[in-house]
Amino acid sequence: MGNIKWLQVENPEQGAEQVYQIVKQELEHNRLHVLGLATGSTMIPVYKKWTESELDFSDVKTFNLDEYVGLEASSPNSYAYFMNDHLFNKKKFKETNIPDGMASDLEEECKRYEDGLQQSGLDIQLLGVGENGHIAFNEPGTGADSVTHVAQLTESTLGVNSQYFENDEKIPETALTMGISSIMSAKQLLLLAFGEKKRAALEKMKEGVVTAEWPITYLHNHDNVTIITDLKL
């Protein structure tokens, strides 16, 4: 079993400060060259902290965890739009990578993305967690050996994510996502989870049993994981 470090904070802003300190230290020691990024409301305070800071990412490559299938990068609901809005338009990076949900051959796009990941290597990967325990769009039942793939989103995930979509745009039911083994290849994993809705997933993590039904538990198989949460468990 891996060594999980739990950091208790009062709120998401304190969580963002913890991430900032870790990233700052890795940059100062020249240990951060490739950074895995995540989207969602959990990450907004993290990216806000970065954009308001002096952190220099100009020599850092990024890879995002996932992207909806069928959404143009210009769609306000795409993860490319989210990343540009919250980070990339405000901070300069060496190179940014997001799966192309508009690719004509999705399987080929997954292979291209995974190849790029493996060639670059990930120093740090940021993660959130879904209410059903998914990390990236690796839904319950996803295998430990999965690489970047086309994921079918569960009813639970569609229900949660529908709040971000206006009535005139249907939420995509598939997404391109890094797989479990893609994520686990990172040297360091930072998972953030705030609010009662994340309690069930974190309690499963605390139990220490690795099960595909709660993909978050795969992180026990990694030797450098930090979980930052405001929940008292």
Q: For the segment 103-148, what is each residue's pLDDT rounded down to a tens digit?
A: 999 999 999 999 999 999 999 999 999 999 999 999 999 999 999 9
Per-residue confidence (pLDDT) for residue 2, from 0 to 100? 60
Catalytic, out of 64, 86, 97, 132: 132
The verdict on whether 139 is a catalytic residue reads yes
* Predicted local distance difference test score (pLDDT) of residue 10: 97
Q: Is 66 a catalytic residue?
A: yes
pLDDT at 168 over 60: no
pLDDT digits (tens, 9 = 90+) for 12-47: 999 999 999 999 999 999 999 999 999 999 999 999
Kindly name the residue from 26, 64, 66, 230 that is annotated as catalytic.
Answer: 66
Catalytic pick among 26, 109, 139, 230:
139
Give the integer Cα–Cα distance in Å for 215 and 205: 9
Q: Is 138 a catalytic residue?
A: no
The answer to whether residue 134 is catalytic is yes
Q: What pTM did the predictor assign?
A: 0.94
pLDDT value, residue 147: 98
